[in-house]
Chain A
Amino acid sequence: MYDDDVKLLDGVKALRASEIHIVDVYSPYPVHGLDTAMGLPRTRLAICAFIYAMTGLAAAATMMWYMMIVDWPMNIGGKPSFSFIQNLPSFVPILFEASVFCAAHGIVITFLLRSWVLPGVSNKNPDPRTTDDLHLLELNLNDKEASEALKILENSGAKEINEK
């Protein structure tokens, strides 16, 4: 348990330097530089977003091509109704909206699934005070590491150390 994010960062860095695996860190707000200090890989959510957007684009294009050109050509304001490419400008807003829709919903759902925050799932937070003003550093130690880790935690200014 830490009450200061600078101390938390110091603790994380010291633990990583002595090669002790950190299970997770819980904090009430985003701590700047924590992800790099913990050595977390960069998120791949952006790549997902791109793939979802392209899916949305393709789906919308297929839908409009089938509805407006193939199945029942629509004459709206005398616009060329038998050609997808010549009628493209009027489809662009929908292509854009569908891409944004799919990307936005896709990444939210992916995020929820990946971090397993769903309705009815009980929370994994070991201490409710991390949602208020304290940071929590969770370690899973064997006996060999325990004494060293304890020393590091004390040195870095941990406010409270609990064992489970």
Chain B
Amino acid sequence: MNYDFTNRAKMITYVLMGIGLIAVIMGFVSGSHASWANLLASNFFFLGIGLFGIIFISKQYLAQGGYGVIYKRVPEAMSQYVLVGGPIMLFILIAGNHHIYHWMADGIMDDQSEYYDKIIAAKEAFLNKPFFYARSFIYVGGWMWAAYALRKLSLQQDLNGGIIFHNKSITAAALFVVFFAVTVCTSSWDWIMSIDAHWFSTLFGWYILAGLWASGAAALILFIVYLKNKGYLQAVNDNHLGDIGKWMFAVSLIWAYLWFSQFMLIWYANIPEEVTYFQMRIENYRYIYFGMMLVNFCFPFFVLASRDAKRNPGFIVTVAIFILLGHFADTFIMVMGGTVGAHWSIGFVEIGTFLGFLGLFLFVVQRSLAKASINIESHPFLEESVHLHH
């Protein structure tokens, strides 16, 4: 059974993309210098959810996990956003360059110039344009290859059965996991951390990873519950939902742990170079900064701690929506804090850009779901997954 990408659903995604396009154009016409940062924040957020799709499939293959097989098409479809969001990311980086990245401005590394910045100039070996763009191309290229290869192997597995394509998928997944472990850190340094080029944090990569994992798990739950309500994926029951609920719960806690570890060490050491990052954000973004902490940590912690809550679609959908918004707020603050600082605002342009990327993401996922049978025909762990029981 294929997912039916109805005209109504298509219309909704087109309208969302239209709103996004208008918002982006309005942003540039009004000359707001937050426009590029907006694009970066929204695209990075959805690219992260796409990457979660690849991680989820890879870890299932590598750990010989059986529980996620019956809804494997959903993370696969999510991973297809990497094929779209990756090139958009490269475009934003190339076209947005010094509008987003202060260190790319002319003369900043030239000691004759009036814009000379000694600290940034000392980082030239890593933060220079050729190396930066080469790295970005490698990250996006590697991720796109993994998204494409795992999807293709999975479809061939369905067609041919047997174990050959399964083993190939394991190899591809292993390659991706090793590559991703390094690139998720370096890409978050490059794309997000280097916005505040003076500031650095050694656990930033894990922090980003935990954030994208939590938002990805939340998106996965929303898709699965939606598809189940539409009459697809009928084999999915509370046991499966409980498992993804556990992911969302556990990863939210890891995220909070990393957030706090980063904050506490910097707060405690109180070095001017480091604390400005938090000072600026707490002064200018106070309510969304602490609000997002509440939504991303306390809310899932207290609501999802019990077993019954993780198995109740109503509960986990509510939490998932809040987590998605909370993690977007987190990405928004990370990007905006470094680019426009105190001059931020949330208006039509910001929300519109987010909705535009949401539309694009939903379009890509639904189109990918419609392309192949949503039920898995052949997989070594299919039986185990259907009879999952806790």
Contacts and interface: CB of A to CB of B under 8 A. Distances in A.
A90 interface: yes
Interface string B260-292: 100110011010000000000000000000000
State the majority secondary structure of interface residues on B: helix
B307 interface: yes
A33 B387 CA distance: 12
Contacts of A93: 264
B263 A89 contact: yes
A32 B307 CA distance: 18
Contacts of B264: 89-90, 92-93
Interface in A113-158: none
Contacts of B389: 32-33
A32 B239 CA distance: 14
Contact of B260 (A32, A50, A92): A92
Contacts of A89: 260, 263-264, 267-268
B305 interface: yes
B169 to A, nearest CB: 28
B263 A77 contact: no
Interface string B302-337: 000111000000000000000000000000000000
Contacts of A50: 305
B363 to A, nearest CB: 42
A78 B270 contact: yes
Contacts of B268: 77, 79, 89-90
- Indicate the size class of the contact surface on chain A: 10 to 19
A46 interface: yes
B129 to A, nearest CB: 38
A100 to B, nearest CB: 12
Interface string A73-94: 0000111000000000110110
A32 B267 CA distance: 48
- Indicate the size class of the contact surface on chain B: 10 to 19
A50 B301 CA distance: 12
A45 to B, nearest CB: 12
A6 B129 CA distance: 65
Contacts of B305: 50
A79 B264 CA distance: 12
B42 to A, nearest CB: 31
A131 B305 CA distance: 34
Interface in A20-62: 32-33, 42, 46, 50
Nearest to A76: B268
Contacts of A90: 264, 268
Contacts of B307: 42, 46
A66 to B, nearest CB: 22
B260 A77 contact: no
A78 B267 CA distance: 11
A126 B260 CA distance: 52
Contacts of B270: 77-78
Contacts of A32: 389
B110 to A, nearest CB: 38
B257 to A, nearest CB: 9
Nearest to A47: B306
B45 to A, nearest CB: 27
A30 B267 CA distance: 47
Interface string A88-109: 0110110000000000000000
Interface of B: 260, 263-264, 267-268, 270, 305-307, 389
14 contacts: A32-B389, A42-B307, A46-B306, A46-B307, A50-B305, A77-B268, A79-B268, A89-B263, A89-B264, A89-B268, A90-B264, A90-B268, A92-B264, A93-B264
What 5 A-B pairs come out closest when comparing CB atoms? A89-B264, A89-B267, A90-B268, A92-B260, A33-B389
Given A78-B270, A92-B260, 18 more contacts: A32-B389, A33-B389, A42-B307, A46-B306, A46-B307, A50-B305, A77-B268, A77-B270, A79-B268, A89-B260, A89-B263, A89-B264, A89-B267, A89-B268, A90-B264, A90-B268, A92-B264, A93-B264
